[in-house]
Amino acid sequence: MKIKLLGFGIVREIFGNQSIEIDVDEGLTVSGLRGVLETKYPKMMSLKSYMIALDEEYADENQEISNLHEIAVIPPVSGG
């Protein structure tokens, strides 16, 4: 299935665009998506952590992804 991901902050730079579309297997979990992203975009592994949100809520690692979800990849943030 084809999914669209929105990148924020440094993730946008890693993707080379604000949003990307990738093909993934049905039944992919958030944890599995991390593996796909880190294989396709090795610079993702340089981030200390990053969150994945589905439909504007942080997702659990075991949550299954659908092509109907709005998927956002959010880098670590620091306040000041």
pTM: 0.91
Query: Would you say residue 79 has pLDDT above 80?
Result: no
Q: How confident is the model at residue 78 (pLDDT cuts 50, 70, 90)?
A: low
pLDDT on residue 23 = 96
User: Cα-flanking dihedrals φ and ψ of residue 50, to 5°?
Assistant: -155, 150
The per-residue pLDDT for 76 is 87
- 5-23 residue pLDDT tens: 999 999 999 999 999 999 9
76 to each of 2, 17, 25, 66, how far by Cα in Å? 26, 18, 27, 24
Tokens representing residue 10 in the block: 């440094």
pLDDT digits (tens, 9 = 90+) for 25-57: 999 999 999 999 999 999 999 998 999 999 999
Instruction: Tell me how far apart the alpha carbons of residues 57 and 59 are, in angstroms, rounded to a whole number.
Output: 6
pLDDT of 77 reads 77
Mean pLDDT, the chain, rounded, equals 94
